[in-house]
Amino acid sequence: MRSAYRAAGQEDMHSYNLGLRLVRNADKGRSGSVTAGEPNLRTESAGRILIAYFSWGGNTRGIAREIQAQTGADLFEITPSNPYSSDYNTVLMEAQEDQHNQARPELAEHVQNMDDYDIILLGYPNWWASIPMPIASFLEEYDFSGKRIIPFCSHGGGRFGQSLTAIAKLAPDAVMGEGLSVHYSGGSGLSGNVTAWLEANGIKRN
């Protein structure tokens, strides 16, 4: 096991996603780790693709546009009706408060034809080691049963944090694809990393 995210806090600080879990091998006769089976997603995808993303500073938006350039998929920006502050320190506090309260911000726009899409490429920044709460609002608004959700995440060092677990809980009947984590905007390597990620998930490129 490893620490996926580290941060400082007061000794009486509490959060819904902080805790302790004890782990041991399920069977003394087995060595190594025991993991659940995962579906094979390395097949050519069929059906329409939607790129849905939330972006605050623009990093995730840039990744989404690169994905669209390579796939030609439809693009949808998840935007809260009440925008977050444009000040970095303020938005940190707003994001943390939303997570503590498990808020579900009202969204300004909605996907009118979600049933038409089979694959959702879901993008977001890593906020406090999890998803921003507008992503939770988006996931709870639609029925993702039988759809594939393939996440991509911008981060400053925490990679996915606990965001994949949060997505799986909010869309339990969807199939999760292999995610892409991008450090900030991705730099000069973004295009190649997106290409490799699409190929790993069996997504056809233009």
29-76 residue pLDDT tens? 544 443 334 444 434 445 799 999 999 999 999 999 999 999 999 999
Phi, psi of 169 (to 5 degrees): -70, -35
- How does strand 48-53 pair with strand 74-77? parallel
CB 52 within 8 A of CB 121: yes
At how many degrees (to 10) do helices 133-141 and 88-101 cross?
50
The domain 48-200 is classified under which CATH number: 3.40.50.970, 1.10.3720.10, 3.40.50.360, 1.10.490.20? Answer: 3.40.50.360
Mean pLDDT by 10 residues, the chain (206 residues): 61 68 64 41 63 98 98 98 97 95 97 97 97 98 97 96 96 96 97 98 93
How many angstroms separate the CA atoms of 200 and 41, rounded?
8
Task: Collapse the DSSP code of 150 into the 3-class scheme (helix H, G, I; strand E, B; otherwise coil) and give the result.
Answer: strand
**CA torsion angle 20 99 62 191 (round to 10):** 20
User: The tokens 């909605």 sit on which residue?
Assistant: 110
How many angstroms separate the CA atoms of 3 and 19, rounded?
12
DSSP state letter for 119: E
Domain ranges of the chain: 48-200
How many angstroms separate the CA atoms of 36 and 52, rounded?
28
The rounded Cα 25 to chain-centroid distance in angstroms is 29
Q: What is the DSSP string of 7-33?
A: ----TT---TT--------S-TT--S-
Q: Which amino acid is at 149?
A: I
Structure tokens at 44: 């050519």
Structure tokens at 117: 């899409």
The predicted pLDDT at position 25 comes to 67
Q: Which amino acid is at 154?
A: S
The predicted pLDDT at position 118 comes to 97
The predicted pLDDT at position 41 comes to 40
Longest CA span, the chain: 55
Residue 124's nearest CA partner among 57, 173, 193 is 57
The rounded Cα 26 to chain-centroid distance in angstroms is 29
How many angstroms separate the CA atoms of 120 and 131, rounded?
16
